Amino acid sequence: MGGIVLSILVWQEGGESVGALLAIGAISMAGLAWWLGRRARQQKPTLLDPDLFHSKVFRLGITGQMLQQIALGGVMIALPIYLQMVLEYNAMEAGLSLAPLSLTMFGIAILAGRRAGGRRPSAIIRLGFLLFTLGVLVLLPIVPRADSGWWPLVPLMIAGAGLGLLVSQLNNYTLAPITEERVSEAAGVNSAAGSFGLSFGLAFAGAILLATLSVSFTDMAQASTVLAPDEQQRVAAALEEDAQVLSNTQLEEQLAGQPEEVQDEIVRINTDARPLALQVALLVPLLAGLAGLFNAFRMLRLPDPEPSGSVEGMALG
Query: What share of the chain has pLDDT > 70, as a percent?
Result: 92
What is the Cα 313 distance to its own chain's centre? 25
pLDDT at 194: 93
Distances (CA, A) of 316 to 166, 167, 199: 13, 10, 15
- Judge whether residue 314 has pLDDT over 80: no
What does residue 282 show for φ and ψ, rounded to 5 degrees? -70, -10
For domain 55-317, the CATH class is mainly alpha
Q: Which segment, 87-91, 159-163, 167-171, 203-207, is predicted with the most confidence on average?
A: 159-163
What band does 315 get if pLDDT is binned at 50, 70 and 90? very low
Q: CB under 8 Å to 41, separation ≥6 — which residues?
A: none
* CB atoms inside a 10 Å sphere around CB 98: 19
Residue 132 and residue 274: Cα distance in Å, rounded? 23
pLDDT average, residue stretch 248-258: 75
145 versus 246: which is more confidently predicted?
A: 145
Residue 252 and residue 263: Cα distance in Å, rounded? 7
Burial environment of residue 266 by CB neighbours within 10 A (0 to 12, 13 to 18, 19 or more): buried
Instruction: Map out the domains of the chain as residue ranges.
Output: 1-47, 55-317
Tens of pLDDT along 47-98?
A: 888 888 888 999 999 999 999 999 999 999 988 888 888 888 888 888 899 9
H helix intervals, 42-152:
56-85, 91-115, 121-142
- Judge whether residue 178 has pLDDT over 80: yes
pLDDT at 244: 55
148 versus 306: which is more confidently predicted?
A: 148
164 versus 268: which is more confidently predicted?
A: 164
Q: Is the pTM of this model over 0.85?
A: yes
Residue 161 and residue 105: Cα distance in Å, rounded? 5
What band does 195 get if pLDDT is binned at 50, 70 and 90? very high
The residue type found at 96 is L
245 sits in which H/E element: none
Tens of pLDDT along 216-225?
A: 888 887 888 7
pLDDT at 264: 84
152 sits in which H/E element: none
